[in-house]
Amino acid sequence: MIKNEEIILLENRYEIYLKKEIGRGQYGVIYECQDLLNEYPDKKICAKKITCFLQDEKSKREFELMSKLKIVAKGNPNIVNVIDVLLHDEHVILILERCEGDLSDLIRKRRRQQQRFTPAEALEIIKQITNGYKLLLEQKIIHRDLKPQNILYVNNTYKIADFGLARIADQFGIYTKLGTPRYSAPQIFWDYQYSYSADIYSLGIIFYQLIFDSFPFDAKDLQRLKHELFLLKYKPIKVSRDLPEFKLDDSIPNLIEQMLLYHEKDRINWTKLFQHKLIINNQFETKLINQVETQSINPFQELSIQETKIEKPSKEQNINQQTTDFQNQIIPNTQPIISKEISKFVEGVDQSYLFQIFVVFILLELQKRKL
C-alpha cells in the first residue's frame, strides 16, 4: 500500500522512505526504513528494492534465497540479518538490518590515512567471513560475488551481504559467468565449471588486498586480467614475506597462496579452511615489538629460559663468540645470562635463527625493566 509518493507502507508495519536513499547497486536500491512495531529496538533497518521485476529469473532466485536465509541465518552473526522478504508492485522488497558501511569504505579510509590493515586485523575479518560462509556451505549456496563492497560491518562485526548473484549449487557446477572480475576465480573466465572454491579464491583476493592495499597482479583491463589469471596455471602467486610480521611466522602468506591457486583441486577447500589453525585458534605471531608490548605470545615456549639479573656471563654460561658480538652490538656493556639449556641448544642452531631469538629475548628484558 502507498501512503504517498514519498513513503511506501508495507504490511501496515514497514515505512520505506523513497526520498532517503542510502545506496544503490547493479540490481537494487536501498532506502531508509522504519519498523512501526519496533520489534527490533536494538537494530536499525533498511529496505532494498530489487530493480528487476519478479518475473525475472534473477529476482525469483533472490526471493527464494533470501526467504531461506531469513530462517536459517538468524543465529549467524556474519550473515546480514534478513528481517523480512516482501513483494510490492511486482518487485521484491528486502527488509534488512542496517549496517555502518562496507569493507571497501574501510579500505579507502585506511588509504587516505596512509595506513593499512595489519595481518592480524585482516585475519580477524577473514575469520568472520569464513564463519558466515559455513552457513552458506551448509545450505549449498554459492555466493559468486564476494568482494569488499559485499562485506558489511556493524560494531566490528563483518557480515556477508548481497546475494543477488548467489544460487544453489548443482551437481554439474555449470553456471553463468558472473561476478566482479578482479575478485573472480580463473574458472569464471577459462573453465566451463566452477564450484564453492570460486568463493575461496575471491576471499583470498580480499585477504591480500586488506594487507597490501593492492591486488596480486596489476591488470589495467579485462583482457590483461584474463591473461594474468591464465598464467596462474604455470606461475602461482607468491605473497611477499617482507612485512615485519611475516619474519617469524609466514602462515598467513602461505594460506593466501593456497587460496589463490589456479586449479580448484589444488586450492585449499572450505573444509580445510574451516579447520586451518589460523581460523580456529587465530594463531599468528605478530611483529616482535607487539610480542613485547602485549606479552601475549611467548616465542620461547619450547625452550627453557631462566630469568636472571643482567651481569657478565660465567664460564658455565658461555656461548659462541658470534652471539656475544651480537649482544654487544645491541646493548653495549650488557650481556644477558643465558641458561645452560640454551647454551647446549645454540651449538647446533642456525646463527640467523639464533640471532632472531636473541633479539626478542633482549626486547622482553627491556620491557620488564620499563614495567
Measured CA to CA, the distance from residue 18 to residue 29 in angstroms comes to 10
Residue with cell 549449487: 169
The answer to whether 127 is annotated as binding is no
Residue with cell 540479518: 81
Measured CA to CA, the distance from residue 139 to residue 191 in angstroms comes to 24
User: Quick one: which H or E segment has residue 153?
Assistant: strand 151-154
Q: Residue 81, exposed/middle/buried by CB under 10 A (0-12, 13-18, 19+)?
A: buried
Residue with cell 631469538: 357
Whole-Å CA distances, 138 to 65, 130, 152, 366: 13, 12, 21, 50
Measured CA to CA, the distance from residue 190 to residue 131 in angstroms comes to 29
Residue with cell 586488506: 210
Decide: 173 and 196 in contact? Cβ < 8 Å. Answer: no
Measured CA to CA, the distance from residue 108 to residue 205 in angstroms comes to 16
166: closest CA among 174, 157, 178, 154?
A: 178
For strands 45-53 and 91-97, give the pairing: antiparallel
Annotated binding site: 49
Annotated binding site for ATP: 49
